[in-house]
């Protein structure tokens, strides 16, 4: 993967953060023909909007690829609570109530806590990390998320020896969520990770994108991002994080157990029962752009393959 520079986090100044933001604005203003423009950022992409969120870039945990534009990231979404169409979340998620927002962290922990958003934001310094997001539907994007490693929060609640899995639960607001009435999944949306996956530094508790608060369609006010797994593992709009001894059954596993396994590591060698996972379409590269090969663990094999040593990844898909 490799960092873009060898600046240590301690050397990253507020100016450096501001500079990266300014570079983005300059590139956006230069129009879509300029070199280094975010992928798919058309000249009429208005660029990032919403409340600013400051955080230092973390080049060591970022991929060195041009990010998708704000418009692709915020209008091509999966958030089935708001409908199954890619544009449904950007059209409907604005009706979600976001304040006040609290997250309950409970289960196999010595210090169960209910934290509001400000307390969560203060728990650790925010970092900007550019990750690839690979959807099980065989498309991908490159997204500059803002957050901190989930491990900070998990350590804060002092897990007990029984904490072998972590379960994430999305908020359920049926009045605001037209997709919930349509069935499809058992709501609320739940997902899970094994404890070592949840504690891995790449697993990001995410509050923002492009230096702004997460828009509702991207999982405001906070979500998890697990970059080496298919996108459905990265649950949005979290209200509960619970630690437990047993492997959970996620919403997608119970909807279609043959299609969606617990691990869901990005794996070009294991096709989805209804389509290949060998290649992906990079959103924003144009209708005629060639598909790109999908990488094992979505390109993060060096960092995470060790978590699965000795496991049969065809059986544990």
Residues that bind Mo ion (CB under 5 A): 78, 135-136, 231-232
Cβ nearer to Mo ion, comparing 216 with 231: 231
Nearest-CB residue for ligand MTE: 231
CB of 170 to ligand MTE, least distance (A): 4
Tell me the closest approach of the beta carbon of residue 193 to ligand MTE, in angstroms: 13
Contacts of 269 (CB under 8 A, 6+ apart): 277, 278, 296, 313, 314
The Cα-based distances of 7 to 3, 59, 147, 149 in angstroms read 9, 8, 19, 19
101: partner contacted, choices ligand MTE, Mo ion, none (Cβ within 5-8 A by kind): none
User: Which of residues 159 and 267 has its CB atom nearest to ligand MTE in the complex?
Assistant: 267
Nearer to Mo ion, 106 or 137 (CB): 137
Binding partner selected for residue 72 from Mo ion, ligand MTE, none, CB under the kind-specific 5 to 8 Å limit: none
Which listed option, ligand MTE, Mo ion, none, makes contact with residue 284 (CB within 5 to 8 Å by class)? Answer: none
Binding site for ligand MTE (CB under 6 A): 77-81, 133, 135, 170, 189, 218-219, 231-232, 234-236
Give the C-alpha separation, 262 to 259, whole Å. Answer: 10
- Least distance from C-beta 166 to ligand MTE, angstroms? 15
Helix H segments across the chain? Answer: 14-30, 70-75, 88-92, 117-122, 150-156, 178-181, 195-199, 251-255, 301-304
Q: Are strands 56-57 and 127-134 parallel, antiparallel or unpaired?
A: parallel
The partner in contact with residue 234, picked from Mo ion, ligand MTE, none with C-beta cut-offs of 5 to 8 angstroms by kind, is: ligand MTE
The one of ligand MTE, Mo ion, none whose footprint includes residue 77, by CB under 5 to 8 A per kind, is ligand MTE
Cβ atoms within 10 Å, residue 21: 17
Among Mo ion, ligand MTE, none, partner that 192 touches (CB below 5 to 8 angstroms by kind):
none
Backbone angles phi, psi at 22, to 5 degrees: -65, -40
Q: Could you give the CA distance from residue 106 to residue 101 in angstroms, rounded to a whole number? A: 16
Q: How far is the CB of 7 from ligand MTE (least distance, A)?
A: 28
């Amino acid at each position: 993967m490799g960092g873009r520079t060898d600046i240590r986090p301690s050397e990253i100044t507020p100016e450096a953060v501001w500079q990266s933001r300014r570079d983005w604005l300059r590139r956006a203003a230069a129009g879509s023909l300029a070199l280094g423009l975010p992928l798919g950022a058309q000249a009429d992409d208005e660029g990032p909007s919403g409340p600013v969120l400051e955080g230092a870039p973390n080049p060591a945990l970022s991929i060195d690829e041009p990010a998708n534009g704000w418009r692709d990231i915020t209008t091509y979404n999966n958030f089935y609570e708001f409908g199954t169409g890619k544009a449904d979340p950007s059209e409907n998620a604005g009706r979600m109530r976001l304040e006040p927002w609290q997250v309950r962290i409970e289960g196999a922990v010595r210090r169960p806590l209910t934290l509001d958003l400000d307390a969560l934001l203060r728990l650790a310094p925010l970092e900007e990390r550019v990750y690839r997001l690979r959807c099980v539907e065989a498309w991908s994007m490159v997204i500059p998320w803002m957050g901190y490693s989930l491990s900070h929060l998990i350590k804060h609640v002092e897990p007990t020896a029984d904490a072998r899995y972590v379960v994430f639960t999305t908020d359920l607001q049926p009045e605001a969520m037209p997709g919930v009435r349509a069935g499809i999944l058992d709501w609320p949306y739940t997902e899970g990770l094994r404890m070592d996956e949840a504690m891995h530094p790449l697993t990001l508790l995410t509050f923002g994108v492009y230096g702004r608060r997460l828009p509702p369609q991207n999982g405001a006010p906070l979500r998890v991002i697990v970059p080496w797994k298919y996108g459905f593992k990265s649950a949005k709009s979290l209200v509960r994080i619970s630690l437990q001894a047993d492997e959970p059954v996620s919403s997608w596993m119970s909807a279609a157990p043959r299609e969606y396994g617990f691990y869901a590591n990005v794996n070009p060698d294991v096709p989805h029962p209804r389509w290949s996972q060998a290649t992906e379409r990079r959103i924003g590269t144009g209708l005629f752009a060639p598909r790109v090969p999908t990488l094992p663990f979505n390109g993060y094999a060096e960092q995470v393959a060790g978590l699965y040593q000795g496991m049969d990844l065809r059986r544990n898909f």
